[in-house]
Amino acid sequence: MTESLEGTPIFDGETSRRGFRMNKLFMSLRTEANRERFLADEAAYCREFGLTDEQQRAVLERDWQAMIDLGGSIFYVYKLAMMDGRSMQYLGGVFTGMGEADFLAAMRAGGRRDDRGQ
């Protein structure tokens, strides 16, 4: 992306290359059998998919921001969040630092604004 916009991760080709193995892991969690295998030994499952050490740490510690920074696509990362019973509002609360309740309240009040974006 030629022009970066603060606070707005862009899932571009370079990011997608970086996160390729990790996103494949997230995709695999669509099936019950894989979720069971993942939960039985998360570190082994990460190794099987060839995650980097940093990516494995982010996944094991549920460091959602790091997963995005290390090449995760939000639509793929969300597969892991769903498995954990987490909502997109929960993730919004994490990414903004607001916490889930305040984030949800802001959405119900009409969403967040960005003066630079208008």
Partner 1 sequence: MAEVIWGLATSHVPSIGAAMDRGKTDDPNWKALFDGYAPARAWLAEHTPDVAIVVYNDHANGIDLDFVPTFGLGTAERYEVADEGFGRRPVPDVIGHPELSLHLVKELIDEGFDLTVFQELDVDHGFTVPLSVWTPDPGDAWPCPVIPLLVNVIQYPQPTAARCYALGQALGRAIRSFPGDLTVGVLGTGGMSHQLAGARAGFINPDFDHMWMDAIENDPAKLAALSREELIRQAGSEGIELIMWLIMRGAMNEQIRKVHSDYFVPASNTAAGIALFDNRVSQPA
Interface residues with partner 1 (CB under 8 A) are 1-3, 5-13, 16, 20, 23-24, 26-27, 29-31, 68, 73-77, 79, 82-83, 88-89, 91-92, 95-97, 103, 106-108, 110-114, 116-118
- Minimum Å gap between C-beta 33 and partner 1 is 12
- CB nearer to partner 1: pick between 57 and 106: 106
Q: Which long-range contacts (CB under 8 A, 24 or more apart) does 51-58 make?
A: 51/21, 51/22, 51/25, 52/21, 55/19, 55/21, 55/22
Give least dist CB 62 to partner 1, A: 15
- To the nearest whole angstrom, how small is the minimum distance from the Cβ of residue 104 to partner 1? 9
- What is the CA angle 23-51-83, rounded to 5? 50
Residue 110 host element (H or E): none
